[in-house]
Amino acid sequence: MKILALETSCDETAAAVLDGTRLRANVIASQDIHIVYGGVVPELASRAHMQKVSQVVRRALDEAGTTLAEIDAFAVTCGPGLAGSLLVGLSFAKGLALSQRKPLIGINHLEGHLFSATLEHPHLEPPFLALIVSGGHTLLVLVHDVARYEILGQTIDDAAGEAFDKVAKILGLPYPGGPSVQKAAEQGDPLAESFPVAKIKGRPYDFSFSGLKTAVLYRWRALAESAQEQSLADIAASFQHAVIQALVPKISRAVKKHGLGSVVIAGGVARNSALRAAVLEAGQRDGFEAYIPAGEFCTDNAAMIAQVAALRLARGEQSDFSLVARPQMDLAGERARK
């Protein structure tokens, strides 16, 4: 079974070809146009998707050494994400499926992140605990099975990636914030500043990052003129440390409570090297196996969409052509299908 998947939910135009369990192509075209604005501009994102989608699909087919006619099913992210961006991928995938008379399947972007680690670890099967840490989401999920997800906790304000992006802006570091903060943090002392790690009463698995961001802002302002390069590095490192302290103990706690042996970390923030190291260390200490995808499978990609499509198609599922984009779609139950 050869699946061509498309992902255009935010600012990456991505296409992948999955052939059985082998990933034949994983093409990701990032959109540099947003850098000058310091964040994703939705109208520009959808326009860039329109300009790129056709060539990204062509490249994926070429890399996979296959043709459209040989594709058995077309998968596409139908939510959550930016409405205009989702529509580009959805319309394109519908056109391909219609013209080739092959099945179409809409996939939940978050479900893609949940299963992203199985691309490199095919033996990894539910049940497992998954932490999605991206620009739009921070979710701790108990994956009982495909389509059976229990959300243990989520952010009550900013997402973890959003906090990285906002702190980068405060410190005058370039967009996207995550990689810039990580780079600055490499020269800093994570214990130089003690930033708050939010605890939410009665909700042990929920997260909050907006107080942390404000604490960074006040500290940075207080330093004002006297700020040295070292203070910036120390603040970045201490902020990163606080984020890790907000995430990792909750993983260990959930693993113990639910008697799990495997933990997946997914989403753009899972690229963060300090977080990766902290999760691996917690795994050794608390007796769980940590599965953290390679960088290209952490940030948005179509390979993870193809992977979920394979699981869902194997269960006899597919979408019809009335499939719509669902910008607010969540993990709690509803399927991507119409």
Q: CB-wise, 19 or 193, nearer to ligand KG4?
A: 193
Q: CB-wise, 190 or 267, nearer to Zn ion?
A: 267
Task: Write down the least CB distance from residue 137 to ligand KG4, Å.
Answer: 7
Site string for ligand KG4, 128-167 (x = CB under 6 A): ------xxx------------------------x--xx--
Residue position matching structure tokens 């040989």: 70
Q: What angle do CA 38, 41, 46 make, to 5 degrees?
A: 140
> One-letter amino acid identity for 125?
E
Q: CB-wise, 182 or 319, nearer to ligand KG4?
A: 182
Task: Write down the least CB distance from residue 299 to ligand KG4, Å.
Answer: 3
Write out the DSSP string of 129-142.
EEEEE-SS-EEEEE
Write out the residues near Zn ion by the rule CB under 5 A.
134, 300
Cis peptide before 179 (omega within 30 of 0): no
Ramachandran bin of 153, using left for φ above 0, alpha for ψ from -120 to 50, beta for the remaining angles: beta
Partner in contact with 176, chosen from ligand KG4, Zn ion, none, beta carbon below 5 to 8 Å by kind: ligand KG4
Task: Write down the least CB distance from residue 126 to ligand KG4, Å.
Answer: 21
Stretch that binds ligand KG4, among 23-31, 66-74, 176-184, 308-316 (CB under 6 A): 176-184
Q: CB-wise, 206 or 300, nearer to Zn ion?
A: 300
CA-closest candidate to residue 8, choices 67, 124, 89: 89
CA distances to 157, 192, 194, 217, 261 from 230, in Å = 30, 10, 16, 16, 40
Task: Write down the least CB distance from residue 259 to ligand KG4, Å.
Answer: 29
Task: Write down the least CB distance from residue 176 to Zn ion, Å.
Answer: 12
Q: CB-wise, 68 or 217, nearer to ligand KG4?
A: 217
Question: Within a 10 A sphere around the Cβ of 198, how many other Cβ atoms?
Answer: 16
Q: What angle do CA 136, 139, 140 make, to 5 degrees?
A: 165
The torsion angles phi and psi of 299, rounded to 5 degrees, stand at -70, 170
Cis peptide before 122 (omega within 30 of 0): no
128 and 254 Cβ atoms separated by less than 8 Å: no
Q: CB-wise, 84 or 267, nearer to ligand KG4?
A: 267
Q: Tell which one of 3, 10, 255, 329 touches ligand KG4 (CB under 6 A).
A: 10
Task: Write down the least CB distance from residue 107 to ligand KG4, Å.
Answer: 14
185 and 274 Cβ atoms separated by less than 8 Å: yes
Q: CB-wise, 11 or 300, nearer to Zn ion?
A: 300
Enumerate residues 289-308 that contact ligand KG4 by CB under 6 A.
299-300
Q: CB-wise, 31 or 272, nearer to ligand KG4?
A: 272
Q: Tell which one of 26, 100, 182, 307 touches ligand KG4 (CB under 6 A).
A: 182
Q: Tell which one of 269, 304, 310, 331 touches ligand KG4 (CB under 6 A).
A: 269
Task: Write down the least CB distance from residue 53 to Zn ion, Å.
Answer: 18
Q: CB-wise, 134 or 154, nearer to Zn ion?
A: 134
Task: Write down the least CB distance from residue 264 to ligand KG4, Å.
Answer: 14
Is residue 177 within a helix (H) or strand (E), and if so which, with residue range? helix 177-185
Write out the DSSP string of 105-166.
EEEEHHHHHHTGGGGT-TT--SSEEEEEE-SS-EEEEEEEETTEEEEEEEBSSS-HHHHHHH
Partner in contact with 164, chosen from Zn ion, ligand KG4, none, beta carbon below 5 to 8 Å by kind: ligand KG4
Binding site for ligand KG4 (CB under 6 A): 10, 134-136, 161, 164-165, 176-179, 182, 267-269, 271-272, 299-300
